[in-house]
Chains A and B, each alone.
Chain A
Amino acid sequence: MDVVISISRYLLPFLAVVILAKCLLTLLLGHPQEKIYGYLIDQIDGERYPLNMWETSIGRSKHCDVVIGYETISRSHAVISRRIDGWYIYDLNSKSGILVNGQSIDRKAQIKPGDLLTLGNLAFRFAVVNDPVIQVGKKKRSATPAAFEPEDDVFSTPAPRPVRQTTPQNDNYDEQHKPQLHFTNPHPSLISESDTPKRAPLFSGDDVYSDSARARATLRNARTREVFSLTGNRVSIGRSSACDITVGSPTASRRHALLILYEDGWAIDDCGSTHGTFLNGERVTAPQLLFPGDVIRIGNDKLVFQ
């Protein structure tokens, strides 16, 4: 009996440490990693919001998993949930509601990959990783010019910019520097085939857009849904009311950017703004020609050129 107790004094702590250490280390180290299950793809500029949790909150509040800083989006607007029988979207009593493929939802709705979700006037394409819809985007991307090498993760690389070699010098445009425009779809990775006609109604093939198209060129503010017709040769954009197009974003400069009409079409240039002008996600450092579907970001406002 005493022998057993003497052995136990050394054996029991040892066994206890082995049992607990093995179990706890397995619990802590053998846990699955986080992963991305799907994406919400902004149909204006192609920005992708990853859904890396089973439940993802969407809203204007910084506490949300996906923060969309638009006035038309409620602070806590929606939740996208992944359940064992599929994906669901829940409306959190938002002011502007949610549309799924154009249909208003009551409180929740089941969604499928490829569905178009409209939240506060902003449209998002819902995509799931390994979904055939995503594969379409991958194939498209591989068809872009040779300079672009698609990577494994289609979402890690931004869409290639079309060739924009023009650098017009103020109003004295030099014919010798006339840009050699090779049109490619600026958003080849956008998911749905059905989007293409909407995005490119003004151009065809490798040609630049026509005079008529140029004449009815517009800018649409994605946040406020205002549409501005571009008239004259110069259109100024800024926070100041003296500008031709006034944007409400507090981070926009009073005189932020300038649209200039050239022979080949409209181009945008930054007017030395504090926070910069972005064209399809890239900062504008020199005048850049615009193509239908291009997105200009000025402060929090996104302006779609059409």
Chain B
Amino acid sequence: MSRQTKTRRLQQRQHKYRYVDRGFILLLLTVFQLFSAVPVVFEGGSFYWQNGAQFLGYIAFEWLYVAVMHYGFKKVNFELEFIAFFLCGIGMTLGASVSKASQLKQLCAIVLGVIVYDLLLWFLKDVRRVMQVRLPLAVLSLLGLAGSFVLIRFSVGAINGAYNWIVIGNGLFSIQPSEFVKIAFVFVGAATLDKLLTAKNIYLYIAYSIGCIGVLFLMKDFGTALIFFFTFLIIAFMRSGDVRSLLFVSVAAAVGAVLVIYFKPHVAARFAVYRHVWENVDTTGYQQVRTLIYSVSGGLQGLGIGNGRLRYIAASTTDLIFGVICEECGILLAFAIALTFALIALYAVKCARTAPSSFYAIAACAAAALLLFQTGLNIFGITDLLPLTGVTLPFLSQGGSSMICCWALFAFIKASDIRAYPKQFKSAVSGGALA
């Protein structure tokens, strides 16, 4: 056994935690991404060198990121980053296989997402600094959401029936403000224990939640509103531990939803196709029916990237991306992806027990639950097990706003792990008293 290996094992034993072999996982990631890129770069016997360069750039970025973080910032555990890189890689490959031009935009979104992730992770290091920012952030995000609604309502208009897209530069870029408010929603919902137990803090958060969900309803972005409401329930439970109150809130929300549908029938019309897609095969149930048919045709290993049929359906790289994965990469990989989000939620719960503050614990559980719920809404929506709400699949669907939001949410999960800040919490990890 080499001296280096001995030292590493000793360090691991001292720190009482393990981490994956960075080089080995990066190598596997590289092989995976190279093999998945080949059908895109050499599609139809042509050589798309720009896409090839972008794939190589993405792989180089992964290696560079890990090298800089490890040797520059002494970070050792990159498991969460590897998972995100892996998911982003699949999303980018499938997106590029459908539309070659979209790859660069997606690559930029990933790089931006990683930058936001690391900045947020750095910012979250000091919980007192975080607590000072909560109130301004709450006001800013609520005003921003309301302002963007007004802007969209009177300038852009509804896109796909919802007022949630700000279009810039003649359609070159579009921003979804509600995605950024998700970050603020988790940020504002979490708090340190001393703030958490004060009544003022609770009332302000309830008011903030009502404000956010209310504006989302006005924007007719019901999918995101549902995600916000679910996240609110998780945060409320984490804050109070009171199941009865949450049941009361849930019942009240259900009654409210019934009243909305009763008095505003056009809202119900959006969900009319739910459980009736086979009766509307070529009209309102077109996408779900094709998704169901093509998903199963991939089998366990899939048809191979570029060989599917679902890619020709509208929104194949956004809302229906999970169906494309099932068809082209196989149900085995698709199932592994879905399971990943569930296990990340479990990881967040584990982290919450040893988190350096209840802020981290609440934020991690809320972020993980948000991602899991969004994944569930997407997968069950396109397979007609839930109403189709048009939410994205985290990290995999095309879209810059969604990508940045997902990376930011991962930062909350990572921050709750005491290993995220090896310098600050070394004494805590190694078992000693405070330095």
Interface residues of A (CB under 8 A from B): 1, 4-13, 15-20, 22-24, 26-35, 37, 54-57, 63, 76, 79, 81-84, 86-87, 90, 92-93, 108, 128-131
B23 partner residues in chain A, CB cutoff 8 A: none
Whether A9 and B357, one on each chain, are in contact in the complex, defined by CB atoms closer than 8 angstroms, is no
Whether B79 and A17, one on each chain, are in contact in the complex, defined by CB atoms closer than 8 angstroms, is no
Whether A12 and B329, one on each chain, are in contact in the complex, defined by CB atoms closer than 8 angstroms, is yes
Whether A54 and B355, one on each chain, are in contact in the complex, defined by CB atoms closer than 8 angstroms, is yes
Residues A5 and B433 in contact in the complex (CB < 8 Å), given A13-B300, A19-B25, A19-B28? no
Whether A35 and B330, one on each chain, are in contact in the complex, defined by CB atoms closer than 8 angstroms, is no
Whether A9 and B304, one on each chain, are in contact in the complex, defined by CB atoms closer than 8 angstroms, is yes
B32 an interface residue at 8 Å Cβ cutoff?
yes
B86 partner residues in chain A, CB cutoff 8 A: 16, 19-20
Whether B192 and A81, one on each chain, are in contact in the complex, defined by CB atoms closer than 8 angstroms, is yes
B241 an interface residue at 8 Å Cβ cutoff?
yes
Residues A86 and B434 in contact in the complex (CB < 8 Å), given A31-B351, A54-B355, A79-B193? yes
B36 an interface residue at 8 Å Cβ cutoff?
yes
Whether A4 and B127, one on each chain, are in contact in the complex, defined by CB atoms closer than 8 angstroms, is no
Whether B32 and A12, one on each chain, are in contact in the complex, defined by CB atoms closer than 8 angstroms, is yes
The residue that A55 contacts in the complex, of B126, B194, B417, with Cβ under 8 A, is B194
User: Would you call the interface of chain B mostly helix, strand, loop, or mixed?
Assistant: helix
B25 partner residues in chain A, CB cutoff 8 A: 19, 22-23
Chain B interfacial residues counted at CB < 8 A: 72
Residues A31 and B354 in contact in the complex (CB < 8 Å), given A84-B424, A90-B194? yes
Determine how close the nearest CB of chain B comes to the CB of A92; give it in whole angstroms: 5
Residues A11 and B35 in contact in the complex (CB < 8 Å), given A1-B45, A19-B28, A26-B20? yes
- Among A1, A27, A28, A31, residue most surrounded by chain B Cβ atoms (within 10 Å): A27
Residues A130 and B83 in contact in the complex (CB < 8 Å), given A28-B347, A33-B16? no
Whether B434 and A9, one on each chain, are in contact in the complex, defined by CB atoms closer than 8 angstroms, is no
B271 partner residues in chain A, CB cutoff 8 A: none
A16 partner residues in chain B, CB cutoff 8 A: 32, 86, 329, 332-333, 336-337
Whether A5 and B304, one on each chain, are in contact in the complex, defined by CB atoms closer than 8 angstroms, is yes
Whether A5 and B39, one on each chain, are in contact in the complex, defined by CB atoms closer than 8 angstroms, is yes
Whether B31 and A15, one on each chain, are in contact in the complex, defined by CB atoms closer than 8 angstroms, is yes
User: Quick one: closest B residue to A2, CB to CB?
Assistant: B304
Determine how close the nearest CB of chain B comes to the CB of A90; give it in whole angstroms: 4
Whether B305 and A79, one on each chain, are in contact in the complex, defined by CB atoms closer than 8 angstroms, is no
B237 an interface residue at 8 Å Cβ cutoff?
no
A34 to B352, CA, bound (A): 11
B20 partner residues in chain A, CB cutoff 8 A: 22-23, 26
B192 partner residues in chain A, CB cutoff 8 A: 55, 81
B189 an interface residue at 8 Å Cβ cutoff?
no
Residues A9 and B354 in contact in the complex (CB < 8 Å), given A23-B20, A55-B194? no
Whether B418 and A32, one on each chain, are in contact in the complex, defined by CB atoms closer than 8 angstroms, is yes
A153 to B365, CA, bound (A): 33
Q: Please encode chain B, from 333 to 376, with 1 for each CB lying within 8 Å of some chain A CB and 0 for all others.
A: 10011011001101100110111111000000000000000000
Residues A15 and B32 in contact in the complex (CB < 8 Å), given A8-B304, A32-B17, A131-B433? yes
A4 partner residues in chain B, CB cutoff 8 A: 35, 38-39
For residues 175 through 223 of chain B, which have their beta carbon under 8 Å from a beta carbon of chain A? 192-194, 197-198
- Among B42, B197, B340, B354, residue most surrounded by chain A Cβ atoms (within 10 Å): B197
A24 partner residues in chain B, CB cutoff 8 A: 79, 83, 340, 343-344, 347
Determine how close the nearest CB of chain B comes to the CB of A160; give it in whole angstroms: 27
User: Would you call the interface of chain A mostly helix, strand, loop, or mixed?
Assistant: mixed
B432 an interface residue at 8 Å Cβ cutoff?
yes
Residues A6 and B347 in contact in the complex (CB < 8 Å), given A13-B332, A15-B31, A32-B17? no
Whether B305 and A8, one on each chain, are in contact in the complex, defined by CB atoms closer than 8 angstroms, is yes
B80 an interface residue at 8 Å Cβ cutoff?
yes
Determine how close the nearest CB of chain A comes to the CB of B96; give it in whole angstroms: 15
Whether A8 and B39, one on each chain, are in contact in the complex, defined by CB atoms closer than 8 angstroms, is yes
A273 to B431, CA, bound (A): 45
B329 partner residues in chain A, CB cutoff 8 A: 12-13, 16
Whether B197 and A19, one on each chain, are in contact in the complex, defined by CB atoms closer than 8 angstroms, is no
B151 an interface residue at 8 Å Cβ cutoff?
no
The residue that A18 contacts in the complex, of B28, B45, B357, B431, with Cβ under 8 A, is B28
Please list 7 pairs of residues, one from A and one from B, whose beta carbons are closer than 8 Å in the complex, sorted by A's number.
A19-B29, A22-B20, A30-B17, A32-B419, A79-B193, A81-B194, A131-B433
B354 partner residues in chain A, CB cutoff 8 A: 31-34
Residues A20 and B83 in contact in the complex (CB < 8 Å), given A6-B304, A31-B17, A128-B434? yes
Whether A54 and B194, one on each chain, are in contact in the complex, defined by CB atoms closer than 8 angstroms, is no
B250 an interface residue at 8 Å Cβ cutoff?
no
For residues 1 through 57 of chain B, which have their beta carbon under 8 Å from a beta carbon of chain A? 15-20, 25, 28-29, 31-32, 35-36, 38-39, 42, 45
B230 an interface residue at 8 Å Cβ cutoff?
no
B280 an interface residue at 8 Å Cβ cutoff?
no
Q: Can you list the 9 inter-chain pairs with the closest CB atoms, starting with the nearest?
A: A30-B18, A90-B194, A55-B193, A5-B304, A23-B79, A9-B301, A79-B194, A130-B433, A76-B197
The residue that B82 contacts in the complex, of A19, A29, A30, A90, with Cβ under 8 A, is A19
User: Quick one: closest B residue to A131, CB to CB?
Assistant: B433
Whether B36 and A8, one on each chain, are in contact in the complex, defined by CB atoms closer than 8 angstroms, is yes
User: Quick one: closest B residue to A7, CB to CB?
Assistant: B35
User: Quick one: closest B residue to A61, CB to CB?
Assistant: B197
B15 partner residues in chain A, CB cutoff 8 A: 32
User: Quick one: closest A residue to B424, CB to CB?
Assistant: A84
Whether A28 and B305, one on each chain, are in contact in the complex, defined by CB atoms closer than 8 angstroms, is no
B307 an interface residue at 8 Å Cβ cutoff?
yes
Whether B358 and A55, one on each chain, are in contact in the complex, defined by CB atoms closer than 8 angstroms, is yes
Whether A15 and B350, one on each chain, are in contact in the complex, defined by CB atoms closer than 8 angstroms, is no
- Among A15, A16, A57, residue most surrounded by chain B Cβ atoms (within 10 Å): A16
Whether A29 and B340, one on each chain, are in contact in the complex, defined by CB atoms closer than 8 angstroms, is no
